[in-house]
């Protein structure tokens, strides 16, 4: 009813003043959904340009979660773990519905969509689908009003108290005049070992249109050859082999596991027993940048890779092509069978109060650099795919990292007072974006941003004040822990108990002794009692 009434006002010209709201979430990405859950209880509006919320896990087709090896027991928020449990419940209780080897949880995008839709319905979030922000009015470093075009081309004006930037491209930054970077950084600025000598805004990580195929033995489902196929085949090139960052080649069989490979191509991102989602270097598009480029060629590249798999891919039995592969358009919910939106690896990046650099993730200790203002955790290699306009033999970057934290400062603009990053577009470099862009990390960022909105608005303070004032920061971190959101890595504390909260809060404050060479705290009953007592004292 709220939307119908609002649109009646808009269409009749009655909306002379913008509609006030507590929080506007720009982008229904995975981080945006987590932000809405974190901000539950507030008047929250979400603007999403697709008809599916969920970003990389749904509309972008990557429903094989990129996670770390400890995710089943530690390193994800309670809400993220409940999302994973919900997906498994909807999949008949199967731990890994697709059995893909890249992840402990591979499933069809619609399953993730259904779980997110239910969760956001419970949160009371007002979602404007197939809509986009077109204008932001800024005065005195505050966003005062935002204009949105809905799917019918009608304008909706909102006056949010806080804006959470959760789009996959960081699209709100240029609209509001918020400082940001795009493409690769100059080494002279970031001092990173793997930064380029010269900054290049057009050098953005490749993006992908995933698709899903079903194995239909004895049948033929070859698609029409896409325009430009031979050019794509030879320049990409289309292959099952992968060039690692070290320059070595890893060879994959289609159904067979080759020596030295982690598994077959077919089961890499298999999302159902007979269905695989194809997200491979073969359909990573680097011909032009996503931001400022045209996506038509990227779609042709993906369909060309499918045609190659059906007609020219070396078969395990010595032949060529697998015509038995059926493009399942219904899986992605699109007319062409490709994901509704491209899988975005690198957005605009916020020029934030804290920017995470390469050396922050690679210390000689068990953990990455410790941040006093930690509001979340992550762990993933620095995985930078080949970038736009790079030569075809470039393997990108693949650098192991230590388990890391998400600093609150990376969510906060230098100047804008009521905007918070809530997705991939945080304060990271081109290099470290490759570690912070994955599913559980994006969720942690978004949920923390939503919690920050609730915390700040309840106290009448600005988001930056929560970081700058020790008492506020400590109170906020306590609330995060009480909500099941870890802020410090102790892999042997595996639940939301009092000792789990106590150890992390004391450690992030610098008040807990632990072995920096180990990821475990080393827990004893005596230490448990001591931690809990200190935690209770701190909460009084």
DSSP string spanning 37-49? Answer: HHTBTB-EEEEES
State the pLDDT at residue 248. 80
**Which two structure tokens, joined as six digits, stand for 333?**
């919910």
Taking the CA atoms of residue 359, residue 362, residue 367 and residue 368 in that order, the dihedral angle to the nearest 10 degrees is 20
Q: Which residues have CB under 8 Å from 165's CB, separation 6+?
A: 26, 27, 172, 173, 350, 419, 420, 421, 422, 423, 425
The answer on 482 and 505 residing in a single domain is no
Tell whether 2 is covered by a domain. no
Separation CA 313–CA 320 (nearest Å): 5
Q: Minimal CA–CA distance to 432: which of 376, 362, 504?
A: 362
Q: Examine residue 5 and state whether it is found in any structural domain, yes or no.
A: no
Same domain for 90 and 74? yes
Rounded CA-CA distance 53/60 in Å is 10
Sequence-ordered list of residues with C-beta below 8 angstroms from that of 444, at least 6 positions apart, any chain: 34, 76, 77, 80, 375, 376, 377, 378, 406, 485
Q: Indicate the number of domains in the chain.
A: 3
217 belongs to a structural domain? yes
User: Where a domain ends, among 450, 474, 489?
Assistant: 489
Is residue 485 included in any domain, yes or no?
yes
Q: Are residues 295 and 376 in the same domain?
A: no
Report yes or no on 12 lying in a domain: no
CA angle (307 as vertex; 305, 312 as ends), nearest 5: 90
Largest interatomic CA distance in the chain: 72
One domain for residues 229 and 240? yes
481 and 523 in a single domain? The answer is: no
What pLDDT, on a 0 to 100 scale, did the predictor assign at position 6?
A: 53
The answer as to whether 281 is a domain residue is: yes
pLDDT on residue 356: 98
For residue 520, being part of any structural domain is answered with yes
Which pTM was predicted? Answer: 0.95
Q: Are 50 and 59 in contact (CB under 8 A)?
A: yes
- pLDDT of 533 reads 86
pLDDT of res. 530:
82
Residues 305 and 289 in one domain: yes
* Pair 262, 406 in one domain: no
Same domain, 470 and 370: yes
Q: Are both 315 and 447 inside the same structural domain?
A: no
Question: What's the CATH code of the domain at 479?
Answer: 3.50.50.60
- Scan for tokens 């809405």, then name that residue: 36
Q: Domain containing 529: what range?
A: 490-540
Tokens linked to 461: 């303070």
Of the three residues 332, 355, 375, the one that is the final residue of a domain is 332
Residues 123 and 72 in one domain: yes
Measured over the CA atoms of residue 286, residue 288, residue 289 and residue 293, the dihedral's sign is negative
pLDDT in tens for each of the 540 residues of the chain?
A: 455 445 444 454 445 799 999 999 999 999 999 999 999 999 999 999 999 999 999 999 999 999 999 999 999 999 999 999 999 999 999 999 999 999 999 999 999 999 999 999 999 999 999 999 999 999 999 999 999 999 999 999 999 999 999 999 999 999 999 999 999 999 999 999 999 999 999 999 999 999 999 999 999 999 999 999 999 999 999 999 987 656 688 999 999 999 989 999 999 999 999 999 999 999 999 999 999 888 999 999 999 999 999 999 999 999 999 999 999 999 999 999 999 999 999 999 999 999 999 999 999 999 999 999 999 999 999 999 999 877 554 558 999 999 999 999 999 999 999 999 999 999 999 999 999 999 999 999 999 999 999 999 999 999 999 999 999 999 999 999 999 999 999 999 877 788 899 999 999 999 898 999 999 998 777 778 888 888 787 776
Tell me how far apart the alpha carbons of residues 381 and 436 are, in angstroms, rounded to a whole number: 9
Among residues 276, 297, 332, the one where a domain terminates is 332
Same domain, 27 and 157: yes
Q: Is residue 468 part of a domain?
A: yes
- Give the closest residue to 182 by CA, choosing from 157, 204, 152: 204
Co-location of 407 and 287 in the same domain:
no
pLDDT at position 13, please? 47
Q: How far apart are CA 435 and CA 441, in angstroms?
A: 9
Alpha-carbon distance values, 71 to 103, 448, 484 (Å): 10, 18, 14
CA dihedral of 258, 260, 265, 270, whole degrees rounded to 10: 120
CA distances from 102 to 239, 245, 256, 342, 467 (A): 19, 18, 16, 20, 37
Tokens standing for 189? Answer: 């600025």
């Amino acid at each position: 009813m709220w939307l119908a009434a609002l649109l009646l006002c808009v269409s009749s010209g009655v909306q002379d003043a913008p509609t006030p709201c507590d929080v506007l979430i720009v982008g229904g990405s995975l981080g945006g959904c987590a932000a809405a859950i974190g901000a539950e209880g507030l008047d929250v509006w979400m603007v999403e340009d697709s008809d599916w919320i969920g970003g990389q896990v749904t509309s972008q087709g990557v429903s094989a979660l990129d996670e770390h090896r400890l995710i089943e027991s530690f390193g994800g928020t309670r809400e993220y773990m409940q999302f994973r449990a919900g997906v498994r419940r909807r999949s008949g209780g199967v731990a890994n519905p697709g059995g893909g080897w890249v992840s402990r949880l591979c499933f069809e995008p619609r399953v993730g969509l259904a779980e997110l839709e239910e969760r956001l319905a419970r949160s009371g979030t007002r979602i404007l689908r197939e809509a986009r922000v077109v204008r932001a009015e800024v005065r005195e470093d505050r966003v005062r009003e935002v204009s949105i075009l809905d799917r019918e081309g009608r304008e909706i004006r909102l006056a949010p108290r806080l804006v959470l930037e959760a789009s996959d491209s960081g699209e709100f930054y240029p609209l509001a005049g918020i400082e940001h970077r795009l493409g690769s950084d100059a080494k002279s600025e970031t001092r990173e070992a793997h930064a380029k000598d010269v900054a290049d805004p057009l050098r953005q990580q490749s993006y992908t249109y995933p698709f899903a195929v079903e194995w239909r033995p004895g049948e033929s489902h070859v698609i029409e050859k896409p325009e430009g196929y031979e050019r794509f085949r030879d320049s990409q090139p289309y292959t099952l082999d992968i060039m690692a960052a070290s320059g070595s080649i890893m060879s994959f069989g289609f159904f067979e596991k080759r020596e030295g490979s982690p598994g077959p191509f077919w089961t890499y991102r298999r999302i159902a027993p007979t269905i695989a989602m194809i997200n491979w270097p073969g359909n990573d598009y680097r011909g032009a940048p996503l931001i400022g480029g045209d996506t038509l060629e990227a779609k042709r590249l993906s369909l060309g890779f499918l045609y190659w798999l059906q007609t020219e891919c070396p078969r395990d039995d010595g032949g060529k092509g697998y015509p038995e592969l059926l493009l399942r358009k219904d899986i992605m919910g699109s007319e062409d069978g490709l994901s509704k939106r491209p899988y975005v690896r690198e957005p605009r990046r916020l020029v934030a109060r804290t920017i995470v650099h390469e050396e922050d993730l690679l210390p000689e200790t068990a953990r990455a650099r410790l941040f006093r203002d930690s509001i979340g955790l992550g762990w993933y290699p620095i995985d930078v795919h080949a970038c736009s306009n790079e030569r075809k033999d470039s393997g990108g970057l693949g650098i192991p990292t230590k388990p890391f934290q998400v600093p609150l400062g990376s969510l906060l603009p230098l100047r804008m007072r009521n905007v918070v990053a809530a997705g991939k577009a945080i304060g990271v470099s081109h290099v470290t974006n490759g570690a912070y862009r994955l599913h559980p990390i994006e969720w942690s960022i978004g949920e923390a941003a939503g919690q920050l909105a609730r915390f700040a608005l309840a106290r009448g303070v600005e988001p930056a004040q929560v970081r700058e004032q020790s008492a506020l920061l400590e109170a906020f971190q306590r609330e995060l822990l009480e909500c099941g959101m870890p802020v410090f890595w102790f892999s042997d504390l595996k639940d939301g108990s009092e000792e789990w909260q106590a150890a992390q809060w004391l450690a992030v404050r610098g008040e807990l002794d632990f072995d920096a060479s180990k990821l475990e705290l080393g827990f004893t009953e005596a230490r448990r009692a001591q931690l809990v007592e200190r935690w209770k004292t701190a909460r009084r």
